[in-house]
Amino acid sequence: MFTWNEKYSVGFDEIDTQHKKFLILTDEVRDLIGKGEHENTVLNKVNELFNYAKWHFDTENIYMKKCRYEYVEEHSNEHKKIIEKIQVLRNDLGKFDADFGTELMLLVKDWFLNHLLTTDRKLYNCIKERNMEDEIIFDK
| Residue 2, domain member (yes or no) | no
| Residue 123, domain member (yes or no) | yes
CATH code where residue 29 lies:
1.20.120.50
Total number of domains in the chain: 1
For the chain, the average pLDDT equals: 85
Q: Is 90 exceeded by the pLDDT of residue 21?
A: yes
| Residue 18, domain member (yes or no) | yes
- The angle subtended at Cα 124 by Cα 2 and Cα 82, nearest 5°, is 45
What does the pLDDT look like over 87-120, one tens digit per residue? 888 887 666 566 777 887 788 788 877 888 888 8
Range of the domain at 70: 11-138
Helices (H) and strands (E) in the chain, counts: 6, 0
Q: Is 80 exceeded by the pLDDT of residue 86?
A: yes
Q: Is 90 exceeded by the pLDDT of residue 51?
A: yes
| Residue 6, domain member (yes or no) | no
Query: E strands, the chain, where?
Result: none
Q: Is 70 exceeded by the pLDDT of residue 123?
A: yes
Q: What are the Cα distances from residue 132, in Å, to 38, 92, 105, 120?
A: 46, 41, 34, 16
Burial of 100 (0-12, 13-18, 19+ CB in 10 A): buried
140 confidence band (pLDDT: 50, 70, 90): very low
